[in-house]
Amino acid sequence: MTNMQDIVNVALIGIGATVIMDVWLTFLKKMGVQTLNFAFIGRWVGHLFCGKFAHTSIGKSQPIPGELTLGWITHYATGIAFAGLLVAIYGIGWTRAPSLVPAVLVGMSTVVAPLFVMQPAMGSGFAASKTPTPLKNCIRSAVNHTIFGLGLYLSAALIAWMGDEGGVFL
């Protein structure tokens, strides 16, 4: 049976994994690699609330008040949801004894969301097919989501370790 502490730990795992992915994205940005604009995620979500799913170009769609904040909230909520997916597949016991392979496999599989839902809905086509460099963009997304998977593992391992050390987790 799942208790409140388990739910908190899953949320912390998702938040931690998302932070690790964000550190990676910040590194890429400093290296001159274009990364995701979270305002566009917020804009897309904001338009979802108005009943509009698909856009010709999200960058040319009407801005939404507070879209950057909404984008960041969506980003972290999605990270928590994907951590929940990992636990739904592998069980709550995984959080107490995390292993790398399940986390990375789930992290890698989460690339389906941007490639086949968000990019098409934002006007970039399936698997970035309407962008100038689709293969490069797909590889970049796959790497980013693999880093997220690594973050799932590292966050869970830290939380489990803290619980073993008599911390408040677990």
The full DSSP string for 72-139 is: HHHHHHHHHHHHHHHHHHH-THHHHS--HHHHHHHHHHTTHHIIIIIHHHTTS-GGGTTSS-HHHHHH
For 142, phi then psi, to 5°, come to: -60, -40
Entry pTM:
0.93
Q: Kindly report, residue by residue over 29-80, the tens digit of the pLDDT.
A: 999 998 989 999 999 999 999 999 999 999 999 999 999 999 999 999 999 9
